[in-house]
Amino acid sequence: MLGVSAETVYSGAPARGPRARARALGPPLAVVAAGAAAAAIVLWGDPTTPGGPLPVCPTKAFFGIDCPGCGALRMLYSLLHGDLPAALRYNAVTVVVLGLLAWSFAAWTTGRWRGRWVRSWLHWRWTPAVAGVVLAVWFVVRNLPFAPFTALYV
């Protein structure tokens, strides 16, 4: 954690003073900056246009099937343009995952600010098993070769 121990950040006391706040909010701000850079690259690359600079999913390219993440760049591009129906069309599960990641990011940032852990969905006992089952079912369902599942192809 960039030379700062977890005990310093999660001491139980809120971050007071500019140095403590900077130490507490530095990593979340770095994540926001990286996310903004990734969003700018997706906007610049326009993954909805075939043959663009952004890479094609290797699973789709090599095996001809949709992986659970196929369509995620196009989904993000649609969300950045405010087109939720198109985003859901490209990859509905990833839209939900982005919401869950926003929740966990908010909990992490709040915890760093307050000086104590804030529970989120990541702390639930069955999160790994449920996430694995959802991704496996999504992988199978979106590759079924008959209607209505063929509508999930991207």
pLDDT for res 2: 53
Q: Is the pLDDT assigned to residue 8 strictly greater than 70?
A: no
Q: Rounded CA gap, 4 and 67, in Å?
A: 38
* Tokens of residue 141, six digits: 């369902």
pLDDT for res 64: 87
Q: Rounded CA gap, 115 and 138, in Å?
A: 38
Helix-, strand-, coil-residue percentages of the chain, each rounded to 5: 65, 0, 35
Name residues whose C-beta falls within 8 Å of residue 78's C-beta, 6 or more positions apart in sequence.
48, 84, 86, 87, 89, 90
Residue 144 domain-assigned (yes or no): yes
Residue 1 domain-assigned (yes or no): no
Closest by CA position to 111, among listed 3, 18, 27, 19 = 27
Q: Is the pLDDT assigned to residue 124 strictly greater than 70?
A: yes
Sign of the C-alpha dihedral computed for residues 67, 140, 103 and 2 taken in this order: negative
- Which residues span the domain enclosing 34? 6-152
Q: Is the pLDDT assigned to residue 12 strictly greater than 90?
A: no
Query: Number of structural domains, the chain?
Result: 1
Closest by CA position to 93, among listed 137, 55, 62 = 137
Confidence of residue 116 (pLDDT cuts 50, 70, 90): confident
pTM of the model: 0.83
Residue 29 domain-assigned (yes or no): yes
Burial 101-123 (b: 16+ CB within 10 A, else e): eeeeeebbbebbbebeeeebeee
Averaged pLDDT, 131-141: 93
Residue 148 domain-assigned (yes or no): yes
